[in-house]
Amino acid sequence: MSSKINGQVSPHSCSHLLQFRRRNGPDSFRALQDCLRVKPPGGRASIRRDPAEVPCCQACGESGSNRLYACVTCAAVSCHAPQLTSHAAAHAQSMSPGHEIAVDVDRAELFCCECRDQVYDQGFDAAFVLAQNTATTTTGSTLMQYSAEPGNLRKRRRVDYRHWSPDSRECVTMTNLSTPLYDSTNSSDVPWGLRGLNNLGNTCFMNSVLQALLHTPLLRNYFLSDRHNRYHCQQKNVANNDGKNGRLCLACDVDAMFSAVFSGDRTPYSPAKFLYSWWQHAANLASYEQQDAHEFFISMLHRIHEKEEKDQGKPHSQGSGDCCIAHRVFSGILRSDVMCMACGFTSTTYDPCIDFPLDLEPNRGGSAKSSSTKSHNSCNVEAERISLNKDCSISTLKGCLERFTRPERLGSDQKFFCQKCQVRQECLKQMSIRKLPLVSCFHIKRFEHSSIRKMSRKVDGHLQFPFSLDMAPYLSSSILRSRFGHRIFPFDGDEQDAPNDLSSEFELFAVVTHTGRLDAGHYVTYLRFSNQWYKCDDAWITQVSENIVRAAQGYMMFYVQKMLCYRASEK
Amino acid sequence: MELQDLQESVNIKMIQSGEKERLKDLLRERLAECGWEDEMRALCRGFMRNKVTNSVKLDDLINEITPKGKETVPDNVKAELLQRIRSFIAYAV
């Protein structure tokens, strides 16, 4: 009886609900649709025959403290207190059979008074979501704006992983055309490819990010399997006669670096050629000054993407995941819902993203957030801070993600133009993740630039991060589901071929940390190889214990999907 | 006027003026902010996990969690709501 809808197992229907449906046919809940009342901002739903009705129990007149249920057969409202008397259950028994199913008047959820449990009905939930959408928008449909058409929404067929091993002819070709690594016996037990990077003058910001990228499984496999061959790429560029600019290819330098790092040579490597190339790409950053590691990361991925785009001659929307290796690995899609507080009109936008910027301090995140809290009660901000400190004295990555996806009331200074009201209104904004990247990079905003005070500062607080992370609660599908209550209904992000829950499970493999002050600090990367951690401090690589990593001040965290799904490529 | 009648009339006034809904929303917001909601969710999960059978009824869950939930509402949240209710009564009566 239990069936699977969009990866969600729907619970067993109780026999009373089945009987009710059988008696009343497909339109069992038609009458309820007219009683559904939705409060515009936030869209919480309730059941009232008349908008001003104050429901109270028919048996005892109770209207305050207990749950109230309306019988879906005769509309009688009864109270239900689990421990004490239940007039709802009494009603079901006295009118039996046929009066077991009732609807919670304040939640618009179904309940079986005989089984004394919540029940779920797909038809009811579908009708409910439809009615709620119509109620909030009145125009009949939620208007969607696509700032970037998410290209990955096209359905892709999943394919099975097929193991490949070379046949004898291919073996011969491989031995003839490749140079064997000089020390393939690998005497030390240091993982393959772990090599220090020399500091070329305040370049620890670059080295730390490069270490993380060099050991990103998907990038490593891409470059080591010769998918971007620098010799081939150069030949192609000469043939195309692109001129000076066309010859620059950052991916070629990355390819060269991969070859050098995985050559087996253990002496520290100097990424001088790479640095020089990057300077040519980003002229404004070409100096021996300390730079921001995150800025470098973004700039580097952007250059790789740009080149690819130029070569293919057609612009790809970022986030589609079909363009360059950088975006295939790191890009995801964010969904942002802005709901007008006056009419409930919701405008949805999808934006590609390369990483997730997270605020470290709860009260500092958005000025709007704290100001809205202030408007409620000025002393409460302080109280909230105290209670937060009491409950979780240390901030966690999960806490940051929760704040990232929590609905945020935009203050009066950030009014939003509502398309329906045709004026600027106060609104509620909520972010969620529409599509997860294969590798999620979390950027903790430790450097704060205040334009008002014309100064910058570093946020030094410690952040706990798990080695294994489930991203499911932050997905659009989960966020929407919690907005609509407990329903069985396909929401955004529930694709029919949606991979199982495993694809939201992530595993930590690199942490870029920052120590010191804003203007004079040092970046160090910690890398994980089969549960053993290594500290990469420029040229020096040392094995460290897990606790050192946990205590470090994380600036960028790199997580990779635990289970990668193979999908048929469109090419 | 009897105390019960007074309570009932205030209750009805609160519902009709929409203040009750506003209070409910405020309470929900506060409980989410202070982590109480997450705590309750964790308690529910724990309760379900400890059950051998796979069928925990909503009633069982409410019976089990309600007392703990009432105990752990932070004092400052209670104080804020009380303040709001007081000022409503002062305004309405």
Mean pLDDT of A241-262: 78
Tell me what pLDDT residue A375 has.
36
Tell me what pLDDT residue B11 has.
83
Which residues of chain A have a CB within 8 Å of the CB of B8? 63
The whole-angstrom distance between B86's CA and the closest CA on chain A is 15
φ/ψ (deg, to 5) at A188: -80, 165
Tell me what pLDDT residue A185 has.
54
Tell me what pLDDT residue B72 has.
92
Burial A361-379 (b: 16+ CB within 10 A, else e): ebeebbebbbbbbeeebee
Integer Cα distance of A304 and A281 in angstroms: 10
Question: Which tens digit of pLDDT belongs to each residue from A327-370?
Answer: 889 988 899 988 888 777 888 888 999 999 998 866 443 333 33
User: Residue A12, SS3?
Assistant: coil
φ/ψ (deg, to 5) at A418: -85, 130
| Higher-pLDDT residue of A98, A542 | A542
Closest-CA residue in chain A for B13? A54
User: Residue A192, SS3?
Assistant: coil
Tell me what pLDDT residue A536 has.
94
φ/ψ (deg, to 5) at A485: 85, -165
Question: Which tens digit of pLDDT belongs to each residue from A426-457?
Answer: 888 899 998 889 999 999 988 877 767 667 77
| Higher-pLDDT residue of A548, A63 | A548
Tell me what pLDDT residue A373 has.
35
Check: CB of residue A509 under 8 Å from CB of residue A558. Answer: yes
Tell me what pLDDT residue A376 has.
39
Question: Which tens digit of pLDDT belongs to each residue from A462-518?
Answer: 899 999 998 988 988 888 877 777 676 666 655 444 444 557 889 999 999 998 887
Q: Determine what percent of chain B is predicted with pLDDT higher than 70.
A: 96
Which residues of chain B have a CB within 8 Å of the CB of A54? 12, 15-16
| Higher-pLDDT residue of A11, B50 | B50
Integer Cα distance of A16 and A274 in angstroms: 70
Tell me what pLDDT residue A82 has.
72
Record: fold of B35-93:
Serum Albumin; Chain A, Domain 1 (1.10.246)
Pairing verdict, β A36-38 and A45-47: antiparallel
CA A482-A487-A490 angle, 5° bins: 90
Look at residue A391 and tell me whether its pLDDT is greater than 70. Answer: no
From B12, B63, B80, residue closest to A82, measured CB to CB = B63
Q: Picking from A47-56, B22-31, B36-45, B60-69, which range would have the lowest pLDDT averaged per residue? A: A47-56
Question: Which tens digit of pLDDT belongs to each residue from A17-55?
Answer: 888 888 887 777 777 777 877 765 555 678 888 777 778
Closest-CA residue in chain B for A369? B33
Helix (H) or strand (E) holding A346, with range, is: strand A346-353
Establish, for the pair of chains A and B, how many residue pairs have beta carbons separated by less than 8 Å.
49
What ipTM goes with this model? Answer: 0.81
Strand partners, A431: A336
Tell me what pLDDT residue A493 has.
52
Integer Cα distance of A80 and A550 in angstroms: 48
pLDDT band at A288, cuts 50/70/90? confident
| Higher-pLDDT residue of A164, A12 | A164
Tell me what pLDDT residue A431 has.
92
Compute how many other C-beta atoms are within 10 angstroms of the C-beta atom of residue A117.
17
B34/A388 Cβ within 8 A: yes
**Between the ranges A52-66, A216-230, A334-348, where is the mean pLDDT highest?**
A216-230
User: Domains of chain B: which residue ranges?
Assistant: 35-93
- Selected for mutation to probe chain A from B76, B80, B81, B87 (highest A CB count within 10 Å) is B76
| Helical ranges in A354-460 per DSSP H | 367-376, 378-391, 397-405
Question: Which tens digit of pLDDT belongs to each residue from A164-215?
Answer: 888 888 888 888 887 766 555 555 667 888 899 999 888 899 999 999 999 9
Strand partners, A444: A358
Mean pLDDT of A402-426: 83
Tell me what pLDDT residue A492 has.
61
pLDDT band at A11, cuts 50/70/90? low
Q: Determine what percent of chain A is predicted with pLDDT higher than 90.
A: 20
Look at residue A144 and tell me whether its pLDDT is greater than 80. Answer: no
Nearest to B79, CA basis, from A383, A39, A250, A127: A383
Which residue type sits at A169? R
User: Residue A515, SS3?
Assistant: strand
Tell me what pLDDT residue A440 has.
94
**Between the ranges A66-80, A210-224, B16-30, where is the mean pLDDT highest?**
A210-224
Integer Cα distance of A365 and A344 in angstroms: 25
Mean pLDDT of A155-159: 60
Integer Cα distance of B57 and A350 in angstroms: 39
B63/A116 Cβ within 8 A: no
- Selected for mutation to probe chain B from A14, A66, A117 (highest B CB count within 10 Å) is A117
B34/A387 Cβ within 8 A: yes
Active-site residue flag, A486: no
A116 interfacial to chain B (CB closer than 8 Å): yes
Tell me what pLDDT residue A280 has.
84
Active-site residue flag, A522: yes
Mean pLDDT of B87-93: 83
| Higher-pLDDT residue of A380, A549 | A549
Q: Is the dihedral of CA B69, B70, B75, B78 positive or negative?
A: positive
Strand partners, A454: none
pLDDT band at A153, cuts 50/70/90? very low
User: Residue A394, SS3?
Assistant: coil
Check: CB of residue A36 under 8 Å from CB of residue A45. Answer: yes
Catalytic residue among A57, A71, A112, A204: A204
A117/B59 Cβ within 8 A: yes
Task: Name the one residue in this structure whose structure tokens are 């990228």.
Answer: A213
B62 interfacial to chain A (CB closer than 8 Å): yes
A392/B34 Cβ within 8 A: no
Tell me what pLDDT residue A152 has.
43
Check: CB of residue A263 under 8 Å from CB of residue A257. Answer: no
**Between the ranges A23-32, A218-227, A322-331, where is the mean pLDDT highest?**
A218-227
B26/A117 Cβ within 8 A: no
Cα R_g (chain A), whole angstroms: 29
Check: CB of residue A330 under 8 Å from CB of residue A350. Answer: no
